[in-house]
Amino acid sequence: MASRAMTSASAAASARRPARASSSSSSSRPPARSAASAARAPARVVVASSSSSSSSSSRRRVAAAAASRPRDAADATVDPEVAREVVVVVARRRALVAAASALASAAASTSTRFASSRAAADDDDDDEDAAQAEIEAAMNSVLSSNSGEATFPPRVMFANTSPSVAPCYFRASSLWSVPGPPAETPTTSSWRDIADPVNGVVIVNATAYVTRGFADASGARSIADLGKPENVDVAKALGLDAIDDSYRRADLLGAAKRVDATTGDVYYDYELVASPPPKSCPSAVGCLYPEHIYLLSATIKDGTLYVFSVDAFPENWRAGAQTIKRLRSSFAVGAPEENEGTGAGAEAEATVT
């Protein structure tokens, strides 16, 4: 009985010792590990325990099971710094792509504008080339028909009028178109639409006016008796204001005295510019272009006043001014064979106002 009681007490004591050991080990155990460590711990325990009691095939099965187990969510968490760097890189790449797209669009637009402007410039060049080719063709046509040598034949006026009016003439280039014969009355002789082969019509009309008995009415036996050319009231003294009011409105640009080298006859040459009447101008300032450009040459011979008036075409005046002046200064009274020195070879004393 006593031995049975001792055995029971010994067993109870043995049962209490593991509990205290467990309690003491629990109190001295370090803090609990994270869930991820706790999840991995059994695998390490199993591996550790199996290293001593299991075969190599068991170790392979445990390792395969551990490798196939999904990773913990904490292991998959992205570092915030890394996330920010990724966002910055993505933003930079998007900005670079947008900039490249904008540059490509600008380059395409610039290329289109350049192509358009170049095409327009090419069109202008083509127009200029065509115009130049047309001018050269006209000149070649004239040169081929006239052997390239211009002459200045006389264009005679009043050839068959009364004996009191002497014939007179002017000289125009053989390359020019001078439609004839002139339209004549007892006191006028007119050539119209004289054309330059390159510029077209350069003279609207070239008209000679005669006034019989002028010397008796004015007392002037020579044109020089009217005074210096620049002091003459051209429209009134030469009777042109009664022919056309534009002569009266005209401004004097130049005046010159010319002496025929062969006959000694004196001529007064004038240049006048007449603007349109004020009522016909679109503004109070005046009209932009002149209505008439008159080149005149006048002389008195045998008591009769002769006035030669060249009405130049304003739009082509600049292109043919010198040639038109030469035509005006070739005017002479008398038969052409009598005045071989008249024209470009005549002496002139010019006064420009």
Collapsing DSSP states into helix, strand and coil, what is residue 202?
A: strand
Domain spans of the chain, in order of start: 81-149, 154-352
Pick from 279, 353, 273, 277: nearest CA to 314: 273
Contact in structure between 193 and 179 (CB atoms under 8 Å): yes
CA atoms within 13 A of residue 192's CA, in its CB half-sphere: 3
* Mean pLDDT of successive 10-residue stretches along the chain, which has 353 residues: 44 44 42 43 40 49 52 52 69 79 75 65 71 72 61 91 88 90 93 89 94 93 95 95 92 95 95 84 67 95 96 83 93 81 44 42
What is the pTM (predicted TM-score) of this model? Answer: 0.56
**What's the rounded Cα separation, in Å, for the pair 185 and 350?**
32
Tokens matching residue 228 = 């210096």
Phi, psi of 292 (to 5 degrees): -140, 145
Q: CA-CA-CA-CA torsion for 137, 140, 144, 148, nearest 10 degrees? A: 160
Collapsing DSSP states into helix, strand and coil, what is residue 184?
A: strand
Write down the architecture of domain 154-352 according to CATH: 3-Layer(aba) Sandwich (3.40)
